[in-house]
Chains A and B, each alone.
Chain A
Amino acid sequence: MSLPTVRAIGLAVLVLAALALPLGVTLPYFQHLVILALIWVVLSQGQNLIQGFTGYVSIAQAGFMGIGAYSSTLLSVKLGWPVWLAMAAAPGVTAALAVLAGYPSLRVKGHYFAIVTLAYNMVIFIVLMTWSSLTGGEAGISNVPRPPDIAIGGLVWDLDSRVGYYYLALASAALATLLCALILHSRVGRVLVAIRQNEALIEAAGVQSWRYKLLAFVVSAGLAGLAGALYAHFIGFLNPDAFGVDHSLNAILAVILGGSGTLSGPVVGAFAVVFLPEYLRVAENYRLVIYGFILVTATIFMPRGLVPLVASGLRALAARLRREPG
C-alpha cells in the first residue's frame, strides 16, 4: 500500500470515529472535556499559524479568545442579536481588533513582539475584569444562551444538549484545520514559512513581509475569537478567568507539544492540554512544573514537537518492516 492510500484510509477512520464518538463516550463529564478540547483545537490552530508557520510567538491568544467570547455574549445577551449571528460576528470583531493591535506590534520582532503581545493580553484581561458595567467583572455574565435548534428535513439538531454541541465544536475544529491547511498550501503559506526561516532574506527579495505577518496575526486572532464564542455559549457562564496570560501560555504549549508547523500537531496538543490537567488532578501541584519541564526539554531536544517525532518514528519503523521479509 502506498503512503497516500494509508493516509487517506487513516483520515477516513478518524472522521468516522469522530462522528460516532458520542455513541462510545456517554459520560457527560468526558463529553464536556472533549467539547472543550475541540474548542481548543480551533484556538491552537490559530496559535500555530502565527507561531508555528510564521515563527512569531504571540502570547495574546487567550486574550483574543476573551474578546470573541465577550463580543458574542454581549451581542446576544445585551443587544438581543440571534445567537448564530452573534457567534458569527465574534471572529470578525476579534480580527478587527487584531488589525489595530497587529499593525504597530508587527513592526518589531522576536522578543519585543512576544512581550508586546503579552502586554496586550494583560491589558485585555484587566479591562475585562475592571469594566464591570459592561462585562460584569469577576462576577461575570450568567445564562449565556445556546444557539437555537436547527431543523433539517425531519431531523432536529438540538444544540442545548451536549451531543448536539459536540457536533458544532467538531465542525468548527474541522473548519479551522481546513482553513490552516489551505493557507499552508497556498502562496501565502510559503511566504509565512519563509519569514520564519529567514525574514531578512525574503525582505531583501522584495516581499513586504509585514502584510503577510499581519494576515497571519489577524487570522490567528479570528480563530481565537471563534473559539471564544464557542466557549462562552457552551459553558453558559462567562468571566475573565479563562482568558489570562496563563492560558496563552497553554496555547503555546499545545503547539509546541503537538508539533509546530504541522496540521495535526495542534489537534494533539489541544487534547493534551485539556485532558492532562484532569488526569494529573492527583498531581495537581506538580502540573505547572511538569508543563514547564516539558516545554523546556521539548525545545531543547525535540523542537519540532510530538507529531513530527512520532511521524518520523513511524516512518523509520515502516522502513525497517519493509526490509525484513515476513
Chain B
Amino acid sequence: MIIEILQQMLNGLAIGSVYTVIALGLTVVFGILGIAHFAHGSVAMSGGYLTFLFGERLAIGFFPAMALAMLVGAVIGLLIERLAYRPVRDAPHINAFIIALGLTMMVEGINLLAFGADQVVIQTPYRGVFNVGGVAVAELRLLVILTACTLIGVVALLISRTKTGKSIRAVAQNRPAAVLMGINVNRVSAIVFSVSSALGAAAGALVGALLAIAPGVGEGLAVKGFAVLILGGLGSIPGAIVGGLVLGVSESLAAGFISSAYKDVIAFMVMIVVLLFRPEGLLGKR
C-alpha cells in the first residue's frame, strides 16, 4: 500500500514539475504585465514540435535540441509581445484576453500546418528503470524533474539577483513609478515575454519526451497552468512551484485511488474552489 502511494506520488512529481514550468511562464507574464497569456500552451507545443524536429533533422541529442527550441521560443515571445499585445497594452484588459484567445487559435493553426495533426513522441535514450525498494524510478522521469528544477532555479536567480531582474520587479510593483524612474517598460515587457516563451518551449519538450505533443494538448496545459497559478497565487514564483507539484501529485493520487476517468476534472474543481474561497491563492499575498 505504502509502495503504491509512493509510486503514484513519484509518477505525479514528474508531470507536476512540467506544470510548474508552464505556470512559471504564465506567472511572470501575468504578475508583471497583467496579461492572461492563454496562448502559452500552444507556444509550448511549438517548442515541443521544434525539439523533435531539431533532434531528427540535425541529429543532435534531446537537451541540445531543447536548448535550440528555447531560443526559437524566445524569439516567438518577442514577436507576440510586439505585434499582438503591445498595441492593446493600454486598452481594457478584456481586449488582451480576446487577443490571447485569437493567438491561441493562430499558434495552434500554425502548428497544425507546420507539423501536421499526428501526435509526436520524442524518443530519448533515457530508458533505464531503477528499483528503489519496490518503487520503480524511471530514468526519464528523474531527468524531467531535474531539468525543471534547473530551469526554475535559473529564472528565479535572474529575477532576484540581476539588474534586469530588478527592473522587472519594479515594473511588477508599480508600473507608473517605474516609468518615472526611467525604466524602459517596452524592454522589460519584451524580456519577460522572451523568458516566458523560452520556458514554455522547454515545457513542451519535456511533455513530448514524457508523453506526446498533439493538437489540443497545449490548451489543456494552459488551463492546468492557470489552475496552478490560482492555486499558488497569481504572480508568485514560490506559489507556482508548490502549486505545480501539488497539482501533479494530487492528480496522480486521485487517478490511482478515486477515478482515473475524472482525473482532469480534479484540477479544475480545485481551481474553482480555491478561486471562490481564497482568491489570492495558497501562497499569494495580493
Residue ranges of A at the interface with B (Cβ–Cβ < 8 Å): 55, 57, 59, 104-105, 107-108, 110-112, 114-116, 118-120, 122-123, 126-127, 130, 245, 249, 252, 256, 285-296, 299-300, 303
B87 interfacial by beta-carbon distance below 8 Å:
yes
Q: Is the CB of A111 within 8 A of B109?
A: no
B130 to chain A, nearest CB (A): 34
Q: Is the CB of B36 within 8 A of A115?
A: yes
- B residues in contact with A288, CB < 8 Å: 105-106, 108-109, 112
A100–B197 alpha-carbon span in the complex (Å): 37
Assuming the A-B contacts A123-B268, A287-B109, A292-B106, are A110 and B88 also in contact, with contact meaning beta carbons closer than 8 angstroms in the complex? no
The one of B99, B223, B230, B271 that contacts A295, using a Cβ cutoff of 8 Å: B99
Besides A110-B94, A112-B275, A286-B113, 15 more A-B contacts (Cβ < 8 Å) are A108-B275, A115-B226, A116-B272, A116-B275, A126-B262, A126-B265, A130-B262, A252-B101, A287-B109, A288-B105, A292-B106, A300-B84, A300-B87, A300-B95, A303-B91
- A residues in contact with B272, CB < 8 Å: 104-105, 116, 119-120
B104 interfacial by beta-carbon distance below 8 Å:
yes
Q: Is the CB of B109 within 8 A of A292?
A: yes
Q: Is the CB of A110 within 8 A of B262?
A: no
Q: Is the CB of A252 within 8 A of B36?
A: no
Q: Is the CB of A299 within 8 A of B106?
A: no
The one of A110, A119, A293 that contacts B102, using a Cβ cutoff of 8 Å: A293
Assuming the A-B contacts A108-B279, A115-B226, A126-B262, are A256 and B36 also in contact, with contact meaning beta carbons closer than 8 angstroms in the complex? no
The one of A289, A292, A293, A299 that contacts B95, using a Cβ cutoff of 8 Å: A299
A112–B91 alpha-carbon span in the complex (Å): 18
Number of interface residues of B (CB under 8 A): 42
B74 interfacial by beta-carbon distance below 8 Å:
no
B166 interfacial by beta-carbon distance below 8 Å:
no
Q: Is the CB of B36 within 8 A of A114?
A: yes
Of all chain A residues, the one with the shortest Cβ separation from B113 is: A285
- The B70-104 residues at the A interface (CB cut-off 8 A) are 84, 87-88, 91-95, 97-99, 101-104
Q: Is the CB of B265 within 8 A of A299?
A: no
- A residues in contact with B226, CB < 8 Å: 115
The one of A111, A285, A290 that contacts B97, using a Cβ cutoff of 8 Å: A111
Q: Mark B150-165, 1 if CB is under 8 A from A, else 0.
A: 0000000000000000
A47 to chain B, nearest CB (A): 12
Q: Can you give 10 A-B contacts (C-beta < 8 A)?
A: A108-B279, A115-B226, A287-B109, A289-B109, A291-B102, A291-B105, A292-B102, A292-B103, A293-B106, A295-B99
Of all chain B residues, the one with the shortest Cβ separation from A297 is: B102
A123–B267 alpha-carbon span in the complex (Å): 10
Q: Is the CB of B113 within 8 A of A119?
A: no
- B residues in contact with A127, CB < 8 Å: 262, 265
A120–B264 alpha-carbon span in the complex (Å): 12
A261–B93 alpha-carbon span in the complex (Å): 17
Q: Is the CB of A296 within 8 A of B265?
A: no
B261 interfacial by beta-carbon distance below 8 Å:
yes
B276 interfacial by beta-carbon distance below 8 Å:
yes
Ranked nearest first, the 10 interchain pairs of A and B with the lowest CB-CB distance are: A295-B102, A288-B109, A292-B105, A292-B106, A289-B109, A296-B102, A111-B36, A119-B268, A130-B261, A104-B276
Of all chain B residues, the one with the shortest Cβ separation from A300 is: B87
Q: Is the CB of B106 within 8 A of A296?
A: yes
- A residues in contact with B98, CB < 8 Å: 57, 252, 256, 295, 299
A274–B223 alpha-carbon span in the complex (Å): 27
B110 interfacial by beta-carbon distance below 8 Å:
yes
Of all chain A residues, the one with the shortest Cβ separation from B267 is: A119
B35 to chain A, nearest CB (A): 8
Q: Is the CB of B223 within 8 A of A118?
A: yes
A290–B112 alpha-carbon span in the complex (Å): 13
B181 to chain A, nearest CB (A): 27
Q: Is the CB of B269 within 8 A of A123?
A: yes
Q: Is the CB of B219 within 8 A of A245?
A: yes
